[in-house]
Amino acid sequence: MKGFEIVLMLALGAGCSTQSVYEDPEPAFENPNYSQPQHYGVDGTLTPEEADWLIGLTCPQTYDAMKSTFGLPAYRSESSDIYQVEDGREIEVFYNGTKATGYETR
């Protein structure tokens, strides 16, 4: 991870939204065409320090900035990337097109 890219990413955007897995959110619309996350064929693992950097980012971020800073994810779906963290957590980054709009940790 390059420090300059992280500082630049932290300086941009208005703030990522988060959703705790312990909250009881409104039921999501079931989209029959939504693909379940598929293994991307790469490791997709972050160190705990990298995960903390990701959680501290402001959104929106571009997909290219996320990929160049954190690498490719372990899993992908139509609208999210899932990174595995060495300490057992997972971070799912949500996208609207090519913009990261928020994340969820579990």
Domain boundaries, the chain: 3-18+37-105
Contact 18, 105 (CB under 8 A): yes
Q: Which of 57, 58, 60, 76 lies closest to 1 in space, CA to CA?
A: 57
Any idea which of 6-20, 35-49, 76-90 has the lowest mean pLDDT?
A: 6-20
Q: What is the pLDDT of residues 30-72, one digit of tens each?
A: 444 445 677 766 788 999 999 999 999 999 999 999 999 999 9
Q: How far is CA 36 from CA 28, 75, 76, 92, in A?
A: 14, 9, 8, 13
pTM for this entry:
0.66
Q: Which of 28, 10, 15, 5 lies closest to 101 in space, CA to CA?
A: 15
